[in-house]
Chain A
């Protein structure tokens, strides 16, 4: 899988600086209000600031320095949260800036009629509207998204895909879509504009990577509700501590009621700030990981749905097998020498430039050392493959060598009075049953034998499918092959099921059937005839090389046009959910240690016996509270890389995955703060701040 770089990514200096300044800009209350957890922190910070001002004026409820320190770290907590979000956004912004530079206004050659020789007017691309036609010559930038209706040209799409090799765009077929901002390198195109300015693919891409189009996903909303619930519980548990404390002081006559500063510190430590601070960064980073994989999702919802997918529909060609079949063996007819068959096959394939043809020549050379003949010398006359005869061949002296599909050759033999021996026919059927393709070779009306063309399964794909199965995802191979061939390839590749002799209708029906069982389906496709299925599938990845219709129907576009990417998309989706879950668990597990730091510190004045709960032996009440607050703030910064990168993902069953993550993030979440808070407390003592 290639990953292409559009712009600066990772943690480089300008990005960090920009994020730092953004962190301050995000401090506006309106923006904070969107996140209930961080909004509580915001209110708390304002409150302690007021308390600090009160202390400066000489009416402090606690030493001014202490209030100041708590206040400072509460603001830091907020800044760190903003910083995390800003970094996540920053990467997208850098990329958006690069994309935007390609979206400059160009002069378009608007055609009066949809033909090359029509009258041309020069207009700015921003004035082009849907349905108008433009001419794009070599060297021109394509002024808008559209469909090629005439001509063929090589186009440099590196501005969008990052791939420097030019691609062919031509009218008709599945390669007729062009994207505004790309450059025609050779020849010319007549393009019908299909998008108004501002709605183009480039515009959508910029909006996506910038996060402008980012809405909270359903799962994110549900999680926010749960976090709000925890926040409310802690808010009440802390707020009611004040009356409890006042009562206890009255009842025992010793100590002081808990101060607002300590109460606020306790509250901020308890509410799930870690996940609250990193939640939006995780979402943005998830989209960003998609972008790095060169997949543009039209919504975060689609990314999230990818994690939920139950069934993957994969096209055989290009995804499971390498695009082409390769000659694997020669099966001579009874009484025919294998070498003679190889020779005839080689001769018939010399002029055949298809990968299949090349592979026959290669096999003949490998098996019998047959060198390539000089075509000119032979005075051979080649018959190229035609759709009518479905054969190709060569006439060489008295030889009439033909090769083609079994039924085509059978028809050919019938016509010239020959006949196919039953044994040979049987061999051909055997080959087909194995999932390979038989290619019959005849000389005149004498059958010579069969060439076995095999689909070559991609390396490592079987292991990927095994992983998918472990994750509970069913894989279905889609192929136009007959059921026999399909079954054999399916078995070899290790997919769970297959759809043979697939047509757009059967594909669509399959998706509907699966969805009727309430399972989510992911698929990828490129052709116009894939569009209905793409529109029906829950996660639909359209190839960037595909038609405009396919790109419209899908909810993701793969810029690399690599169908295997679907598997990666699913993993990214899952990883995003897991990261959220892991940090939520970690965040809540942290609270146990914080209680042990703050409760003795807050109430030991009233009940000195509560000092027994100070299991970390923190130096003083104030250092204990400050250590907890500092830990709470710093853990956000420490976890930013994890939030952006996503937690390590393994293809395991649900039970094993849960056990693992509970141990790492649940148990880890209990233990880590005990160490962290103790360490910070020791540092504070060392610095004389305790």
Chain B
């Protein structure tokens, strides 16, 4: 690793830490129960929306009602996106005249965007009309992120409230998350991105002459469609010159801003953030990475403020950073070290003024090793899933890290809202173990953790793990699953494991190499995405409902403090141990085997 690699990671984390504090404090005001200067500002818009929807903002919902509202709202949104894709050929804003999306792919995409996963089996610029992109996908980018934040806020209220039945009002939380947090931030980020050259228009695709004519070889076929052979029996080929290229256009910047801020990750273009119109410069790359961690990091601060002890929020954020920083550096180190097979061929893989060195396969030269490696870690630590490099081309260890970051349950920053409530489930488990070890019935934030909380927290921790291992087993056993695998051996297994890890943790990034736009894969991954998102959120709401009804236990010297480095260490250990113990055998058959073989 070079000094510049460390510098980039350091700079990124420093800027992040500077931004999360004010944002977190602001969001604490947005979700405060009492009216304040922030919520008064937009109260007239809010009132209008509630009147329009017929929602009663004063209603304090029980956890069941909250969960039901959340579920119904999201399922309706899911169906709307499905229908939109199926009828886009008859609707306006479709300059390329794309036809209806096939049902399996449309369903997969609808689930994917409703669950904040944004797994994309399709290629955006060759499948979706502008209307579908804007009205369906971009809108879901906002709403799925807002749903995550709303559920988190309700879960936090479970810790805050005492002897109460209510967790707040889903509609109010949803509207406020969108209105005060996501929309203003998206506007800012979109403008920053446009300043860097990200496109934002409604034009049809543009054909332009290429600056330098290139050609590719095409086999010659006869009238019957058979490949013609030359005298030696080889396939007959001819050079086809390329003189023009098609430049895709569209309202990209507005969608890309929320794609990062909402940890959605669904690219406007198929190449996602590797595409020059989606992520043109190193600065836009930095902004996009920052946008991914901004809200999940800020919500930690919000959490601390809401529970009335800011240290609690910083402790959770510290736990995330303690796990994230070494792993991010690990990816960069593995990529900078390059491919051992090439090293033996006397290829110079050292970083110098003229070259990035290391493993540049699948990476954009404008980003290089550090910005690609850091992006890979950020996008998988958070459940974003946008990519600026092909993860399939990462070195075995470099690829292991993003995969494992997802398998940890998307709690290292994770999705907006969902990452933190997932982490709180781990915190409950950690507090339970710690409580036993100090000889007290465990308490977290003044609430006793008993069998019911343990059941729900266990369910939340367990669910993604189950979906990954079982989904992978189904995929490698089914002929239709194996058919999608591009590479042989351990790497092929990694492709499957990565896809299931991504879908089952609502990340959405793809390893690549896997042809997943088939009915089998669309259905399997669709089911995983759905089950990972909603049952988990409902389990956490149920836990919050039970916690809210409890009384508050005042802290004493016998209470385990949950803001100390000791607790941060314990929580990090619990997250890592659960992740390692569950996935070590599978990882051994994938990236670990691949890495060890590459050494031989």
- Chain A residues within 8 Å of B, Cβ to Cβ: 218-219, 221-223, 225-226, 228-229, 232-234, 236-248, 251-252, 266, 270, 304, 307-308, 310, 469-474, 517-519, 573-578, 580-582, 584-585, 588-589, 591-592, 595, 599, 603, 606-607, 609-610, 612-613, 649, 653-655, 657-659, 661-662, 665-666
Shortest distance from the beta carbon of B450 to any chain A beta carbon, whole Å:
6
In contact, A240 and B470 (Cβ under 8 angstroms): yes
In contact, B466 and A236 (Cβ under 8 angstroms): yes
Provide the B465-480 mask, 1 if CB < 8 A to any CB of A, else 0: 1100110111011000
A519's contact among B436, B554, B570, B592, by CB below 8 Å, is which?
B554
Would you list 17 pairs from A and B whose C-beta atoms are within 8 A, ordered by A residue? A218-B451, A225-B454, A233-B462, A233-B581, A234-B581, A243-B477, A244-B585, A251-B489, A251-B490, A472-B558, A578-B436, A584-B436, A585-B433, A588-B577, A606-B593, A607-B593, A613-B592
Task: Give the chain B neighbours of A304 by CB distance below 8 A.
Answer: 441
Known contacts A518-B554, A607-B597, A609-B597; is A578 also within 8 Å of B439 by CB? yes
Cα A577 to Cα B434 in complex, Å, equals: 10
Known contacts A236-B470, A578-B439; is A654 also within 8 Å of B559 by CB? yes
**Beyond A584-B433, A591-B581, A599-B584, 18 additional pairs, beta carbon < 8 A:** A222-B449, A225-B455, A234-B581, A237-B583, A244-B476, A246-B477, A471-B557, A471-B558, A472-B557, A473-B558, A574-B439, A577-B435, A582-B436, A595-B585, A599-B585, A613-B596, A654-B561, A661-B437
Cα A421 to Cα B441 in complex, Å, equals: 59
B384 within 8 Å of A by Cβ?
no
In contact, B493 and A251 (Cβ under 8 angstroms): yes
In contact, B557 and A654 (Cβ under 8 angstroms): yes
In contact, A655 and B564 (Cβ under 8 angstroms): yes
Task: Give the chain A neighbours of B561 by CB distance below 8 A.
Answer: 654-655
In contact, A577 and B436 (Cβ under 8 angstroms): yes
Task: Give the chain A neighbours of B580 by CB distance below 8 A.
Answer: 592
**Quick one: which of B479-528 are within 8 Å of A by CB?**
482, 488-490, 492-493
In contact, A472 and B458 (Cβ under 8 angstroms): no
B299 within 8 Å of A by Cβ?
no
**Quick one: which of B424-466 are within 8 Å of A by CB?**
429, 432-441, 449-451, 453-455, 458, 461-462, 465-466
Known contacts A236-B470, A578-B437, A584-B433; is A243 also within 8 Å of B577 by CB? no
In contact, A225 and B451 (Cβ under 8 angstroms): yes
The 8 closest A-B pairs by CB, nearest first: A472-B558, A581-B436, A574-B439, A472-B557, A609-B596, A581-B437, A247-B476, A229-B458
Shortest distance from the beta carbon of B323 to any chain A beta carbon, whole Å:
17
Shortest distance from the beta carbon of B42 to any chain A beta carbon, whole Å:
38
Cα A578 to Cα B599 in complex, Å, equals: 45
Known contacts A225-B455, A609-B593; is A658 also within 8 Å of B437 by CB? yes
Per the CB 8 Å criterion, the residue count for chain B at the interface is 66
In contact, B559 and A610 (Cβ under 8 angstroms): no
The closest CB in chain B to the CB of A248 belongs to B589
The closest CB in chain B to the CB of A596 belongs to B584
In contact, B585 and A251 (Cβ under 8 angstroms): no
In contact, A219 and B559 (Cβ under 8 angstroms): no
- Chain B residues within 8 Å of A, Cβ to Cβ: 429, 432-441, 449-451, 453-455, 458, 461-462, 465-466, 469-470, 472-474, 476-477, 482, 488-490, 492-493, 551-554, 556-561, 564, 566, 570, 573, 577-578, 580-586, 588-589, 592-593, 596-597, 599-600
Cα A242 to Cα B434 in complex, Å, equals: 35
Cα A607 to Cα B587 in complex, Å, equals: 13
In contact, A226 and B454 (Cβ under 8 angstroms): yes
Known contacts A310-B556, A575-B439, A610-B588; is A658 also within 8 Å of B434 by CB? yes
B593's contact among A233, A472, A591, A610, by CB below 8 Å, is which?
A610
In contact, B450 and A603 (Cβ under 8 angstroms): no
Which of A244, A517, A591, A662 gathers most chain B CB within 10 Å?
A244
- Across chains A and B, the number of contacting residue pairs, with CB separation under 8 Å, is 214
Task: Give the chain A neighbours of B577 by CB distance below 8 A.
Answer: 588-589
Cα A582 to Cα B458 in complex, Å, equals: 20
Task: Give the chain B neighbours of A248 by CB distance below 8 A.
Answer: 489-490, 493, 589, 593
Known contacts A607-B597, A654-B557; is A308 also within 8 Å of B440 by CB? yes
Which of B451, B470, B553 gathers most chain A CB within 10 Å?
B451
The closest CB in chain B to the CB of A660 belongs to B437
Task: Give the chain B neighbours of A666 by CB distance below 8 A.
Answer: 573
A585's contact among B437, B560, B582, by CB below 8 Å, is which?
B437
Cα A266 to Cα B553 in complex, Å, equals: 42
A574's contact among B429, B440, B451, B559, by CB below 8 Å, is which?
B440
Shortest distance from the beta carbon of B265 to any chain A beta carbon, whole Å:
27
Cα A244 to Cα B494 in complex, Å, equals: 11
Task: Give the chain A neighbours of B461 by CB distance below 8 A.
Answer: 229
Task: Give the chain A neighbours of B564 by CB distance below 8 A.
Answer: 655
Cα A239 to Cα B586 in complex, Å, equals: 11
Cα A584 to Cα B436 in complex, Å, equals: 9
Which of B432, B472, B492, B600 gathers most chain A CB within 10 Å?
B432
Known contacts A307-B440, A603-B589, A662-B437; is A609 also within 8 Å of B584 by CB? no
In contact, A221 and B451 (Cβ under 8 angstroms): yes
In contact, A609 and B581 (Cβ under 8 angstroms): no
Shortest distance from the beta carbon of A303 to any chain B beta carbon, whole Å:
12
The closest CB in chain B to the CB of A659 belongs to B566
Task: Give the chain B neighbours of A238 by CB distance below 8 A.
Answer: 585
B439's contact among A241, A307, A469, by CB below 8 Å, is which?
A307
Shortest distance from the beta carbon of B534 to any chain A beta carbon, whole Å:
20
Task: Give the chain A neighbours of B458 by CB distance below 8 A.
Answer: 225-226, 228-229
Task: Give the chain B neighbours of A653 by CB distance below 8 A.
Answer: 557-558
Shortest distance from the beta carbon of B420 to any chain A beta carbon, whole Å:
21
The closest CB in chain A to the CB of B578 belongs to A233
Task: Give the chain A neighbours of B473 by CB distance below 8 A.
Answer: 239-240, 242-244
Cα A606 to Cα B593 in complex, Å, equals: 10
Shortest distance from the beta carbon of B289 to any chain A beta carbon, whole Å:
32
A472's contact among B434, B559, B584, B589, by CB below 8 Å, is which?
B559
Task: Give the chain A neighbours of B455 by CB distance below 8 A.
Answer: 225
Task: Give the chain B neighbours of A659 by CB distance below 8 A.
Answer: 566
Known contacts A244-B476, A251-B489; is A270 also within 8 Å of B439 by CB? no
Known contacts A574-B439, A585-B433, A609-B593; is A241 also within 8 Å of B557 by CB? no
Known contacts A244-B476, A581-B433; is A222 also within 8 Å of B440 by CB? no
Cα A657 to Cα B449 in complex, Å, equals: 19
Known contacts A654-B559, A659-B566; is A595 also within 8 Å of B436 by CB? no
The closest CB in chain A to the CB of B492 belongs to A251
A609's contact among B474, B578, B600, by CB below 8 Å, is which?
B600
Cα A234 to Cα B488 in complex, Å, equals: 27
Task: Give the chain A neighbours of B566 by CB distance below 8 A.
Answer: 655, 658-659, 662
Task: Give the chain A neighbours of B582 by CB distance below 8 A.
Answer: 233-234, 237
In contact, B438 and A578 (Cβ under 8 angstroms): yes
Cα A233 to Cα B557 in complex, Å, equals: 35
